[in-house]
Amino acid sequence: MSQPDNDLLQRFLFEQSDVRGEIVSLQDSYQAVLANHKKSNQRLPAAIDTLLGEFLSAAALLSATLKFDGIITLQAKPKDTGALDVIMADCTRHNNLRAVARYDASKAPTDEHSCDFRSLFDGGYLVITIDPAKGERYQSVVRIEHDSLSDCLNTYFQQSEQLPTRIWLAADGHRASGLLLQALPVQLQSLEQRSELWQHLCLLADTLKADEQVALSHHQQLHRLFHQETLQFFEPTALQFSCTCSRVRTASMLISLGEAEITAILEEQASIEVACEFCHYVYQFSPEQAAQLFINEVPTLH
């Protein structure tokens, strides 16, 4: 058995048809996200570790559909205040991944079944945000009414008037994986032929088990599902954990609070420290540095 792929996204086409696909496997980037939560002494239940992997895989798959420089973000919030405040992941056009979950262990449910996706978020919303480097931000909101992130995203695809699209996600706390199939505009087939092939491929993909997704290589997964089809592969894309935080961005955030607020904070403590919630890097500003923020022009973000 070949080794599973590590932090790679593979695009492919079904030859002589109007259907394409993507498959992704994450390990190092996924483990970096979990390690950052441990740095903050935040112990997450296994179910949330799993969800972080699924969110990362979904963000990677969806980012590959972007035709421009930007960031795609997936964020889920429950309807009511509870143990889990939010979980989110994003991926840039440059294949940089990051994710975070804000979880209050003191409010953790005693029933482990209450940590499944529907129980954690039922009544809440899944928000998909596309934020281009140039142009206006676009958001789509989907009510969480399904047992899995995959099913919620499939509802999003159905509601957004996009081409028929399906997604399958899996994670186990060590590795994360995802598969996406999408019907293309009719060119090589009739609409009826494409529809028949689409239904057939989705039925095959539905047989893929979660443990197979995380354990098998891309080649093994695709051969297992589509060995009767001829696939055309593109050059795989490497993914990595990377945070977009910076001292300039942090300074801009402090400026947005206003000089009075910053002065009040410094009256209570010797300096201002801001920790990034994604990578936990701490940016420190002395009173002199904080004062300088309101003398100079607002930093320009690049």
39 belongs to a structural domain: yes
pLDDT tens by residue, 139-171: 989 999 888 999 999 999 988 867 899 999 999
Whether residues 53 and 181 fall in one domain: yes
Q: What is the 3-state secondary structure (H, E, C) of the chain?
A: CCCCCCCEEEEEEECCCCEEEEEEEECHHHHHHHHHHHHCCCCCCHHHHHHHHHHHHHHHHHHCCCCCCEEEEEEEECCCCCCEEEEEEEEECCCEEEEEEEECHHHCCCCHHHHCHHHHHCCCEEEEEEEECCCCCEEEEEECCCCCHHHHHHHHHHHCCCCCEEEEEEECCCCEEEEEEEECCCCCCCHHHHHHHHHHHHHHHCCCCHHHHHHCCHHHHHHHHHCCCCEEECCCEECEECCCCCHHHHHHHHHHHCHHHHHHHHHHCCCEEEECCCCCCEEEECHHHHHHHCCCCCCCCC
Instruction: Kindly report the CATH number assigned to the domain that includes residue 277.
Output: 3.90.1280.10
Whether residues 124 and 251 fall in one domain: no
> Mean pLDDT, to the nearest integer, of 198-221?
96
Under the banding of pLDDT at 50, 70 and 90, the label for residue 283 is confident
Tokens read off for 176? 């994360």
Contact 97, 110 (CB under 8 A): no
Rounded to the nearest 5°, which phi and psi values hold at 165?
-140, 140
Q: Is the pLDDT of residue 210 over 50?
A: yes
298 belongs to a structural domain: no
Averaged pLDDT of the chain: 87
Q: Using CA atoms, how far apart are residues 36 and 176, in angstroms rounded to an integer? A: 17
51 belongs to a structural domain: yes
Among residues 170, 162, 147, the alpha carbon closest in space to that of 24 is found at: 170
pLDDT, residue 36, reads: 85
pLDDT, residue 14, reads: 97
Q: Using CA atoms, how far apart are residues 297 and 294, in angstroms rounded to an integer? A: 7
* Percentage with pLDDT > 70 across the chain: 93
Whether residues 135 and 267 fall in one domain: no
Whether residues 102 and 148 fall in one domain: yes
193 belongs to a structural domain: yes
Q: Find the domain containing 288 and state its range.
A: 247-293
pLDDT tens by residue, 165-191: 999 999 999 999 999 999 999 999 999
Handedness of CA 3, 87, 158, 238 (dihedral sign): negative
pLDDT, residue 65, reads: 76
Rounded to the nearest 5°, which phi and psi values hold at 287?
-55, -40
More confident: 154 or 294:
154
Whether residues 124 and 65 fall in one domain: yes
Whether residues 58 and 148 fall in one domain: yes
> Mean pLDDT, to the nearest integer, of 248-252?
84
More confident: 255 or 276:
255
Contact 121, 142 (CB under 8 A): no
Whether residues 213 and 252 fall in one domain: no
Q: How far is CA 33 from CA 4, 92, 141, 272, 286, in A?
A: 19, 16, 25, 25, 29
Under the banding of pLDDT at 50, 70 and 90, the label for residue 236 is very high
pLDDT, residue 53, reads: 96
Tokens read off for 169? 């996600």
> Mean pLDDT, to the nearest integer, of 233-243?
92
pLDDT, residue 300, reads: 46
165 belongs to a structural domain: yes
Least reliable range by pLDDT among 134-138, 159-163, 215-219: 159-163
For the chain, the domain total comes to 2
> Mean pLDDT, to the nearest integer, of 276-280?
76
pLDDT tens by residue, 16-54: 999 999 999 999 999 999 988 877 666 778 888 999 999
Tokens read off for 8? 């790679």
For 293, other C-beta atoms within 10 Å of its C-beta total 18
267 belongs to a structural domain: yes
Contact 246, 300 (CB under 8 A): no
140 belongs to a structural domain: yes
Instruction: Kindly report the CATH number assigned to the domain that includes residue 21.
Output: 3.55.30.10
